[in-house]
Structure 1
Amino acid sequence: MEKITGTLALAVFAAALGSLQYGYGIGVINAPQEVIVGHYARSLGFPVEVRHGEDGNVTTHHAQPHPADSALTMYWSLSVAMFPVGGIVSSFLVGFVADFRGRVKGMLVLNVLAVVSSLLMGFAKMGSPHIMVITGRTIMGFYCGLSSGLVPMYIGEIAPVKYRGALGTLHQLAVVTGILISQVLGLDFLLGNDEMWHVLLGLSGVIAVLQSLLLPFCPESPRYLYITLGKTEEACKSLKRLKGEYDTSKDVAEMQAEKEEAMKEAKISIRRLLKAKAYRQQLLVALMLHLSQQFSGINAIFYYSTAIFYRAGVAQPVYATIGVGAVNTVLTLVSVLLVDRAGRRTLMLIGLSGMCCCAVGMTIGLVYQNTYSWMSYVSMVAIFLFVCFFEIGPGPIPWFIVAELFSQGPRPAAITLAGFCNWTSNFVVGMCFPYIEQLLDMYVFIIFVVFLFGFTVFTWLRVPETKGKTFEEIAALFQKKRPAAASQTAAETELEQLKGATEA
């Protein structure tokens, strides 16, 4: 009978620390925004005045409009947006790093990047803070782009079948927990102040050191050892470390069958996948779902929620931001049950349409906040519900549905393209949101209303239900959307050509 052993629990916990680091990187830049911008201004010689609000928060202002405003906006946007830039670059290297020296050694080596990043940001006050923070955030994003691929891969490969779904959700749970921790530590009376903000940014190195101490005690993935390296004896030892003493013949037979199945289907490159008409519909759906996750506006909330709550007239915006993180964490746990009981398409429709309505509510709250005092509560409730609807569907589903849409051959290329699409759109939102906010002011969320409405319509018309269906059944659903007369023959011909070209 399958059980969770101490070694398995240790391995999953150690791996999930990489996801915790990812979440910490997303949320840590939010709360101390005004403090960090003030240090940027002083290091660049811009004239600013520092004001201490009634809640103890420090804000920086120019006495009158100043050319430095645009420069500071640019540096702050880069501080936020260079994090996903690193992820964009490294998303193409996940497969290479995973197979080069293995999952465990790959995660271990990556921690060098995390430590270097944390040192740059931790000592930012001693040099040019804008340069050191932007550089540190870029390196941390590079680390997180690799880690966000390696962690789910490793956990999925070592988890027993009975617990694979539950353990697989720990990646997303660790991400939102990291966001929440960074928000709590970012409180003004803890680390989000003028004296300690650099410690807040550099603290992520502690997570990397802890993971580095634990990973050497974790077994390598048995699937990597057997399928990739062909080391049967070492794979059996790893299985026994993870599951205890038992007869490994059944698991070895399962891995052998998986290896033989993988060898039957040619591995399709990214370039061939982009050209293949047979996979065009699946690829369109996969990429659009990842675009819907990022262009929904969720990272605008995570990156800039404190500023948004401040504009909405909330008295303690930092605490409201922490509330958002807490709701996000709780709803991630709830979404596990919802995904198992409801269909993917249904949850995506509920999530996207609900977020669309909440974005309308946020806009109304911002527009009328000076007319009606209670409108600040409308904005706050809308933001909380926005996060709830995100975790119902657009949060978790795009990450795992890509594997359901593609079989073994095109799956690695599809996952790489989906990750690249996700990180790129993350960068666009992080970089452009401050400028869009300056341009549209109180109507800033209208643009997300338009996006969300479009994604809802697309999901309704083009996204099939994949729950409980085989790869063949899912492929048949997409073939029905093509001209019936020649769709099957054309698809089979193209797949044969792809396979022949790859083998050649």
Structure 2
Amino acid sequence: VVDGGNPTKPDHSGIIPPVDIVLPDKRAPHHNKDYPEPLYATVDEKSGKEMATPRFVYVLSSLATIGGFLFGYDIGIVAGSMLFIQPYFELSTLWQEAIVSGTVGAAAVAALMAGWLTDRVGRKPTVMVSSVVFTIGGILMGAAPTKEILLLGRIVSGLGVGLASVVVPVYVAEASPPHIRGRLVSLHQLLINTGIIVSSLLAGGFSYVVPDGWRYMLGMAAVPGVVQFLGFLFMPESPRWLVGKGKMEDARAILLRMRGGADVEEELEEIRMTVLEAEKDSAEGIQHIIKILRSRHVRRALLVGCGLLFFQQWCGINTVIYYSGSVLKMAGFPVKYAIWLVTVPNLINFLASFIGIYLVEKIGRRYLLIGSLAGTIVGLVILAVGFQLAASNPATLSSSVVETDHSGNLISTCFRKHTSCESCVKDNSCGFCYSGKDDGSCLPSDNSVHSTEGRCNMSSSSELEFKWAYEFCPSDYTWIALIGMAVFVFAFAPGLGPMPWTINSEIYPLWARSTCNSVAACTAWVCNLVISFTFLTMTETVTTHGTFWLFAAITVLGVLFMVLLLPETKDKTLEQVEQLFMNKAELSALAQARMQQEDGKDDEV
């Protein structure tokens, strides 16, 4: 019996744990003296000996989570490459938005298709299809002769990313031993963060290749797709999918390989019984959806799964990933500094991911996720306060300052046109010139370094005395925004980043797993798309600090959601996790069904 042998004792989430029909989990971590680092073991019931989990499981998980790397690379590379793509194709604002968001929209569509595909052709072929699709997308983007072909490449890449976002967590979860499942599924988020860091470095390197550096940035996305495809030629199918197709011997052989040769009959039998229940309740098309919605425990699991990914997105993470440079510029950093400071939150995001991988099997998914949400609230509050202080103490235009051109005539362009620093810097033809807080003036812009006329002109003898702010307003509170971003991503990366995907890969019954994962993934992509399209508009309509206060308020609701509805899935098999969402009547019916199945087997013997 799980949880101390008391089948009616509720856990912290208020959800009744499984009853004694659950098979005990005999897997536990150990240290093998023959290996320099800790491995994990399964217990062979016949010999009583522990057998180390083979490195094959780690290789399998690493190859599968390359799909996360592809997504991270796409996120990071588009921010840098657009600086060169926009002037190359002379893109309008609409076209820029379309190219940036094309991947996200296509991923949402692919996520819905992925559930059907993984059930129909299998987990392994779906992973391979996603890698091929992404490779084709990378080639199209890198070789694009027109903006239309570039957009097509972005859409094709998005289809590959969407497929991978659904199938990778499911494939890794079904292949992993329970005691390290959370750690292995969390590799997906780690690889996303790795892709972001790698793309930042490559974007910087290829920025010196003019004018076609952007082609190499985007085209390099095809390389990991090829690596994943070739590697998966030698990877097995998911044992659970094979059992569902009646291939018991193949499933047994693969499970033996994944468990280091230990006796897997008990685990295989548990999978077989779950598959039988799934087949008994199986349905096609709309009937399948109706079945999911009418099954109380599946409906509850789906609510939790979609809620996790909803709050993951609406904490505002994509404002930091997609618009980090813009956010820092809004805070008052010059563009030349904001470009490089973007690497600070990205690097913290990457390093903090290792904390989540370490803690997920130590303290569990639930506490890690709730703690992560609490930390992101702190980061969002710091950001909101920083922007609010800056808004309360803005840089101002001085009416006493007189600006003249080279001939001594008063400057009318920009100088008389704008009444605030904010409106001045939003005009691409103007910039803000100042030496102190109260002596600012709006002057016509020559570039990001000088004005064409006035005090900040490059020929000014007092050039070092005056400062030129192009596309940003100077502020005494810029450091608060940077600290807020650092705290935000440090808290997000260990828990709120990987845990929603990890938990979604665990909580659904086999017969509904692919469909429910597709719905949950689609929820994430749609929220991603909405936030990406509306963030800049929100900063203009409800102010920048108002936007971050909104994200903080939504995240507070997320904490309440997790506390009330999220059970702990640590150290439980996928079959045990399903029962966490059942009430007493459903658990009783499940126990009776399994007893009947066992009686049927005895009669056959």
In 1, Cα distance between the equivalents of 2:170 and 2:114? Answer: 10
2:337 counterpart of 1:297: no
1:25 paired residue number: 74
CA displacement at 1:350 relative to structure 2: 2.9
CA displacement, residues 436-464 of structure 1 (integer Å, 9 cap, x when unaligned): 23434533323313322332343344445
2:164 paired residue number: 147
2:482 counterpart of 1:380: yes
In 1, Cα distance between the equivalents of 2:195 and 2:518? Answer: 24
Alignment of 1:158-173 (within 5 A): 158-161=175-178, 163-173=180-190
Superposed CA RMSD: 3.3
Q: Quick one: which amino acid aligns to residue 315 of structure 2?
A: S
2:504 counterpart of 1:421: no
2:100 paired residue number: 80
SS at match of 1:340: coil
Alignment of 1:79-158 (within 5 A): 79-124=99-144, 126-127=145-146, 129=147, 131-158=148-175
2:507 counterpart of 1:401: no
CA displacement at 1:384 relative to structure 2: 0.9
More displaced, 406-415 or 392-401? 406-415
Q: Quick one: which amino acid aligns to residue 273 of structure 2?
A: E
Q: Quick one: which amino acid aligns to residue 397 of structure 1?
A: M
1:286–1:98 Cα change, 3 Å = closer
Q: Quick one: which amino acid aligns to residue 347 of structure 1?
A: L
More displaced, 114-123 or 376-385? 114-123
2:601 paired residue number: none
CA displacement, residues 251-308 of structure 1 (integer Å, 9 cap, x when unaligned): 2452233112221242472233234556554433332221100111101211111221
In 2, Cα distance between the equivalents of 1:399 and 1:279? Answer: 17
CA displacement, residues 460-480 of structure 1 (integer Å, 9 cap, x when unaligned): 44445555675587336xx5x
1:431–1:194 Cα change, 3 Å = farther
Instruction: Confirm or deny: 8 A CA contact 1:186 1:192 kept in the other structure.
Output: no
SS at match of 1:314: coil
1:65 paired residue number: none
Q: Quick one: which amino acid aligns to residue 124 of structure 2?
A: V
1:307–1:2 Cα change, 3 Å = farther
1:471–1:367 Cα change, 3 Å = closer
Instruction: Say which of 545, 553, 556 aligns to 1:453.
Output: 556
2:214 counterpart of 1:197: yes
CA displacement at 1:377 relative to structure 2: 1.1
2:14 paired residue number: none
CA displacement, residues 12-53 of structure 1 (integer Å, 9 cap, x when unaligned): 33222222112112222123343333334x2x5xxxxxxxxx
Alignment of 1:470-485 (within 5 A): 470-471=576-577, 474-475=580-581
In 1, Cα distance between the equivalents of 2:290 and 2:506? Answer: 21
TM-score between the two structures when normalised by the length of structure 1: 0.78
In 2, Cα distance between the equivalents of 1:209 and 1:403? Answer: 25
Instruction: Confirm or deny: 8 A CA contact 1:31 1:306 kept in the other structure.
Output: no
Report the identity percentage.
27
1:186 paired residue number: 203
1:331 paired residue number: 352
TM-score between the two structures when normalised by the length of structure 2: 0.66
In 2, Cα distance between the equivalents of 1:240 and 1:464? Answer: 30
1:61 paired residue number: none
1:285 paired residue number: 304
1:499 paired residue number: none
CA displacement, residues 287-343 of structure 1 (integer Å, 9 cap, x when unaligned): 222110011110121111122122223352232222212211111110123333335
1:57 paired residue number: none
In 2, Cα distance between the equivalents of 1:32 and 1:153? Answer: 32
Q: Quick one: which amino acid aligns to residue 287 of structure 1?
A: C
CA displacement at 1:387 relative to structure 2: 0.7
1:120–1:156 Cα change, 3 Å = same
CA displacement at 1:187 relative to structure 2: 1.9
More displaced, 376-385 or 91-100? 91-100
1:139–1:437 Cα change, 3 Å = farther
1:258 paired residue number: 271
SS at match of 1:104: helix
In 2, Cα distance between the equivalents of 1:453 and 1:162? Answer: 30
In 1, Cα distance between the equivalents of 2:119 and 2:558? Answer: 35
Is the radius of gyration larger for structure 1 or structure 2? Answer: 2
Unaligned runs of 5+ in 1: 45-71, 480-487, 497-504
1:224–1:408 Cα change, 3 Å = closer
2:409 counterpart of 1:359: no
In 1, Cα distance between the equivalents of 2:209 and 2:293? Answer: 45
CA displacement at 1:165 relative to structure 2: 3.6
Alignment of 1:310-321 (within 5 A): 310-315=329-334, 316-321=337-342
In 1, Cα distance between the equivalents of 2:238 and 2:564? Answer: 40
Across the two proteins, how many residue pairs are aligned to each other? 450
Unaligned runs of 5+ in 2: 1-49, 396-473, 593-605
SS at match of 1:109: helix
Instruction: Confirm or deny: 8 A CA contact 1:296 1:355 kept in the other structure.
Output: yes
1:463–1:8 Cα change, 3 Å = closer
CA displacement, residues 170-225 of structure 1 (integer Å, 9 cap, x when unaligned): 22211111111112222266469753112212210111122223222333334433
Instruction: Confirm or deny: 8 A CA contact 1:73 1:434 kept in the other structure.
Output: no
Instruction: Confirm or deny: 8 A CA contact 2:54 2:259 kept in the other structure.
Output: yes
1:185–1:418 Cα change, 3 Å = same
